Amino acid sequence: MDDISIQILGNSPTNVTQKTINGGFQQFNTTIEIDNFSFEISKRIFIDLETLIDMDGYIEAENKVYKILHIKEFSDYMEVWLYELTRQPEVI
């Protein structure tokens, strides 16, 4: 698992960075079904508990933008599953 810099973008993939945090970035492989749509999850991050991370949010990591599709909270950290956007927006 690589420890990297992660930019929290808020609820739009083109938002200005709200906050930069560090976290563990890891390859991952699973599928999530939402309203008859399948999303391939290829990455996940492990970060300290962070109130700016929510199910409507986006993050940027390693020059790619991801949609947050699953959050699992533990006592002192979060596991966040990420869907890589096919069309990469330009982050302001």
pLDDT per position as a tens digit, 4-48: 999 999 898 887 899 999 999 999 999 999 899 899 999 999 999
What's residue 89's pLDDT? 67
State the pTM of this model: 0.88
Domains along the chain with CATH numbers: 2-84 (2.40.10.370)
The model's pLDDT over 56-92, given as tens digits with 9 standing for 90+, comes to 999 999 999 999 999 999 999 999 999 999 877 665 4
Element (H, E) at 20: strand 19-34
Question: Going by C-beta distance under 8 Å and a sequence separation of 6 or more, which residues neighbour residue 24?
Answer: 1, 2, 3, 45, 46, 47
Q: Are the C-beta atoms of 9 and 91 separated by less than 8 Å?
A: yes
What's residue 16's pLDDT? 85
| C-alpha to C-alpha distance for 12 and 82, rounded to whole angstroms | 14
